[in-house]
Structure 1
Amino acid sequence: MPAPPTPRRLGPAVRRLDPTLRRLGPALLAGAALLLGAPTAVADEPGWTAEPAAGRSAGAVRPYFYLAGTSGSVLEDRLALTNTTDRERTLTLRGADAYNTADGALAVRPARRSTDAGSWLSFGASATVRIPARTRAVVPFTVSVPPATPPGDHPAAIVATEAGHEVGVRIHLRVGGPTLAALTVENVSVRGKGAATRVTYTLVNRGNVTLAPELALHARGRFGEVPGRAAHPLPVELLPGRRVELTEPWPGAPVFDKVRLNLTVTAQGGARATAGASEWFVPWGLAGWTGLGLLALGATTTAALLLVRTRRTPREEPPEPAGPVPGQGQPTAREHELTGAPR
């Protein structure tokens, strides 16, 4: 059986984002790092870019596609491809489903593995595009939403490929109907100690819309409140139905205490979930010396008891009389012991 294909993760693209995109928040940057093409030339670029064509407003820049419609509808938009080199380029276009990897990054399905919105895209006769040198080409495409498609978000991307180099352009597609924002927090545990303490947990999107969650960490020990972490955005965009494993630094963890830790995650739309764990924090160096001290104390106590016992005077037995005592009969003969053998 062949090995499963490696998810497409275009992390270096985050360094090529326009400054406007950097102000859109960490959740969007997480998606941009994977799915946005590079609008600014850098050394590792292939010599071309892919991005949404400018909006109807003059000069409007779109970091991704946003499409909305009902099930059974056909949606249209345009992709802009720019050749920044002095030779012709040939690009191949395809649609792909987007998903979260286990650590929360965004990735796209490989070719012929998409079963949701990525398979609804069509470029007509423009799936292969030849772009002359120093030229910008605009390619129309359609998204045909199947009838009876469940409402909510259906994340996808357009993937442009040339000579093994791929650039993805994100598509936010929402199908009309009731939406549900819901999530759960699972498998909370604590690792490390001191300033290096980290809390690991699993976050699951139980609804049908994409979530940009926030996390707050509260803790209480045997000696009162313990410094936690105030609510702050998580650097992840959680897609519907996806499960991710995240790690949160906890520099305020105590040195010696038993702590009840509670994680509260919230997101737009009223999504809220809480989970917790109990953890002992013990400085093992101190615990080791304490254990040795208790062992030494126990050994000293045992030695003292033995010494006292050996110093006690043996109890003297009264002497037996040398002969018969007047007034008493002769001593009777000792009875034989029963050994089971005849005498």
Structure 2
Amino acid sequence: MPVLHTLLRLGVPLLAAAALPTVPAPPAAAAPPAAAAPPAAAASPAAAWAVAVSASAAPAAAAEEPGWRAEPVSGSGGSAVRPYFYLAGPPGTVLEDRLALVNTTGQEHTVTLRGADAHNTADGALAVRPARESTDAGSWISFGAGTTVKLPPRTRAVVPFTVTVPPASPPGDHPAAVVATEAGREVGVRVHLRVGGPALAALTVEDVAVRGRGAGRVVSYTLVNRGNVTLAPRLAIRAEGRFGEVAGRAPRAVPVELLPGRRVTLTEPWPGAPVLDRVELILTVTAPGGARATAAASVWCLPGGISGRTGAGLLALGGAIPAALVLVRIRRSRRARREPADASAPAPVRTPAPDHELTGASR
């Protein structure tokens, strides 16, 4: 199974460009600049991540700073700070941007640059793929002769790079990252790349279930991005029990940026779950662009130690008692219709008809 490099936020403050001398890096192949503004969805907090990527699984090593950082070159005049790259163009075009490498230490660093595909892990976290497994937008990124950059002490190097979009590229979002590596430590910056063409926002919600007991119950579900654009989903939960409506969850943003074609499994706390009931859960998920999906599931909510058969028996008993009362009322009504209206009044006496005497005489 490939190693996944989890994307984390960078907490290093920006340094003024004037405080550090700029070292020119080897230029990449010339290409027309990309003059595109990011869409509203890309400007969301979940999408605007400058990221640090660590190849080490040790928490202590991950907490150490490499002594340098990577970031997009600021906009015109150096006033517009960009937390990520945004590039857009039709298939067959070459896009260009610039990466800044800042050495804040008193020693030289040698940094290697590459592109990488970005994706969601199973639990929704953002990650980048290793170089050998990057076959989409990550493989379209090239630094030309600037793949390896030497950073003198307390300097800032600007490295141009290009993104060559293949002619047969499908439209939509192609998430990627620029990754800088030194001695096994990696720092990355998100690249939001959109290829021109029809944009489709679509998703499904699947595998709804309830886990845990009591106040610790959570609703588990799976989201699948069926479209070609990145989604920022919102989730609402409605619950209906056998004995009335049950508290669910109001619509709220899901803390995940769902990339195209990805599937993630998430959980949502359910503090309003009943102690004993059979509940119908209805999950509704929406996202900008008109994406909407619903899914339903019937779940048992039982106290600890009570089995499903016992709970079913209690609910069946609760439903049988009203039914029995109705049946008794129906039988009493039928019996009343068969009996006389006034049971205390004497029944009428029927007088038998007189017998005719057969004498043979005419009358």
Partners of 1:88 and 1:136 lie apart in 2 by 12
How far residue 269 of structure 1 moved from its aligned partner, in angstroms, is 0.1
How far residue 155 of structure 1 moved from its aligned partner, in angstroms, is 0.4
Identity of aligned residues (%): 71
Partners of 2:98 and 2:2 lie apart in 1 by 29
How far residue 17 of structure 1 moved from its aligned partner, in angstroms, is 7.5
> 2:189 aligned to 169, 187, 203, which one?
169
Aligned length: 276
**Partner residue in 1 for 2:352:** none
Confirm or deny that 1:5 pairs with 2:2.
yes
Runs of 4+ in structure 1 displaced over 2 angstroms?
13-18, 24-29, 31-36, 284-288
Per-residue CA distance 1:38-82 (angstroms, 9 max, x = gap): xxxx97110000010101254111110000000000000000000
Secondary structure of the 1:27 match is coil
The within-5 A match list for 1:113-124 is 113-124=133-144
- Contact 2:213–2:304 at 8 Å: present in 1 too? no
Partners of 2:292 and 2:152 lie apart in 1 by 52
Name whichever of 173-182 and 56-65 sits farther off.
56-65
How far residue 26 of structure 1 moved from its aligned partner, in angstroms, is 5.4
Residue identity matched to 2:249: R
Partners of 1:209 and 1:28 lie apart in 2 by 12
- Contact 2:52–2:186 at 8 Å: present in 1 too? no
**Partner residue in 2 for 1:250:** 270
Structure-2-length-normalised TM-score:
0.72
How far residue 283 of structure 1 moved from its aligned partner, in angstroms, is 1.7
Confirm or deny that 1:144 pairs with 2:144.
no
How far residue 141 of structure 1 moved from its aligned partner, in angstroms, is 0.3
Q: CA RMSD in A?
A: 2.3
- Contact 1:34–1:107 at 8 Å: present in 2 too? no
> 2:175 aligned to 155, 159, 163, which one?
155
Structure-1-length-normalised TM-score:
0.76
How far residue 256 of structure 1 moved from its aligned partner, in angstroms, is 1.2
Partners of 1:47 and 1:16 lie apart in 2 by 10
Partners of 1:271 and 1:184 lie apart in 2 by 9
**Partner residue in 2 for 1:282:** 302
Residue segments in structure 2 that go unaligned for 5+ positions in a row: 15-42, 55-61, 315-363
Residue identity matched to 1:153: D
**Partner residue in 1 for 2:99:** 79
Partners of 2:305 and 2:112 lie apart in 1 by 61
Partners of 1:143 and 1:65 lie apart in 2 by 11
Residue identity matched to 2:201: A
Residue identity matched to 1:27: A
Confirm or deny that 1:259 pairs with 2:279.
yes
Partners of 1:271 and 1:173 lie apart in 2 by 21
Larger Rg: 1
**Partner residue in 2 for 1:182:** 202
- Contact 1:35–1:169 at 8 Å: present in 2 too? no
Residue identity matched to 1:213: P
- Contact 1:35–1:170 at 8 Å: present in 2 too? no
